[in-house]
Amino acid sequence: MDKKPLEKNESNGRKVRDKALDILFLVIACIAGAYSTTAVMIPNGLTCGGLTGIVRILQNFTDINFSVMYYALAIVIWIVVILTLGFKEAKKILVVTLLYPGILFIFESLNLSLLEQKDLILAAIFCGVFSGICNGLVFWRGYSFCGTESIAKLIKKKWLPQVDISKILLCLDCIIIIIAAFIYGRNIALYALVTQYIASKMVDLIMYGFETKIVELQIITSQSEELSRYIMDEIGRGVSSYDMVGEYTGAHRKQLSVLCSPRESILIKRRLAELDPKAFVSVIQVNTVWGYGKGFTDIEEEK
């Protein structure tokens, strides 16, 4: 029996399942983002960076609904992306560009409010939490918003190719928040910084926080062979080694590199203290690892 049709059907089924999951998580993300804006940010008079912050600034000069204005600006940016960065880049933001404003319009019409009374501190915190959930889920599924990130990519391509996109994006958000300070006051701008910080931490938590924590140990020791056997046989982790020379002493050593859990790193440290008290170890926190191995995320799941 020919296995190719079966493999093709399994592949197609996997693609359909992945797309369905994408839509599900994008809907959840947009609901979280819309709730953050309409039930927390706007009722408490707050603002933030990004396209949402731009619309909040424009709201001060017009009576147009937030969702309508957001949708109009998103479409304008999307068209600019097509004309400047190409349709391949525009495809990445098309789904969220169409989905998010629609859900935002629904939530805006419901007149929801999270807090019983106005509380700027709580509002700034929960606005960051819901916004971070929204952005984290969107990024986690490989999509992005049509907003200042697209503008940052455009600026990088046209005028600042040597500057990292994250730095351009940070500058754009800072400019938006500074302008908001002149309109809504300095305190509101400072609350916006709190919101941005919490949102960024929530994005990291959504994208990496549910996976096993991994650290990388870089070990320079004269007992590399015995330590390697301990790590592979007792801990059950793989080891990479590199020949190196200490420029100050001229001593030849092997540097071992190990990816393991924090608990396993303590076991390795204890064993190393017995073998070579003069060893040198650096510990690097790793957000996530994709690959085949114990405790790692299967790279097939990240496609």
pLDDT tops 80 at residue 4: no
Q: How many C-beta atoms lie closer than 10 Å to residue 276's C-beta?
A: 17
Residue 161 and residue 15 share a domain: yes
Is the alpha carbon torsion for 216, 218, 221, 223 positive or negative?
positive
pLDDT tops 80 at residue 293: no
Residue 35 and residue 155 share a domain: yes
Give the DSSP H or E segment for 203: helix 186-208
Residue 255: beta bridge partners? 220, 242
Residue 100 and residue 161 share a domain: yes
Residue 114 and residue 15 share a domain: yes
pLDDT band at 298 (very low <50, low <70, confident <90, very high): low
Give the domain-ending residue among 176, 208, 240: 208
Residue 105 and residue 89 share a domain: yes
Residue 175 and residue 110 share a domain: yes
**The two three-digit tokens of residue 241, written as one number:** 């080694």
Residue 235 and residue 200 share a domain: no
pLDDT tops 60 at residue 3: no
The predicted-structure confidence for 48-88, as pLDDT tens digits, reads as follows: 999 999 999 998 898 899 999 999 999 999 999 999 988 87
The predicted-structure confidence for 233-291, as pLDDT tens digits, reads as follows: 888 888 999 888 878 777 788 899 999 877 788 888 888 988 988 889 998 888 777 76
The number of domains in the chain is 2
Rg (CA), the chain: 25
Average pLDDT, the chain: 86
Residue 155 and residue 224 share a domain: no
207 vs 188: CA distance, rounded Å: 29
Give the domain-ending residue among 158, 185, 208: 208
Residue 104 and residue 157 share a domain: yes
Which pTM value belongs to this model?
A: 0.74
pLDDT band at 113 (very low <50, low <70, confident <90, very high): very high
For position 251, which CATH number holds?
3.30.70.120
**Residue 212 pLDDT:** 55
Q: Are 261 and 212 in contact (CB under 8 A)?
A: yes
Residue 285 and residue 196 share a domain: no
Give the domain-ending residue among 173, 208, 243: 208
Residue 234 and residue 160 share a domain: no
Q: Which domain holds residue 234?
A: 214-302
Q: Are 35 and 112 in contact (CB under 8 A)?
A: yes
Residue 144 and residue 27 share a domain: yes
37 vs 48: CA distance, rounded Å: 10
224 vs 148: CA distance, rounded Å: 49
The predicted-structure confidence for 200-211, as pLDDT tens digits, reads as follows: 889 878 876 655
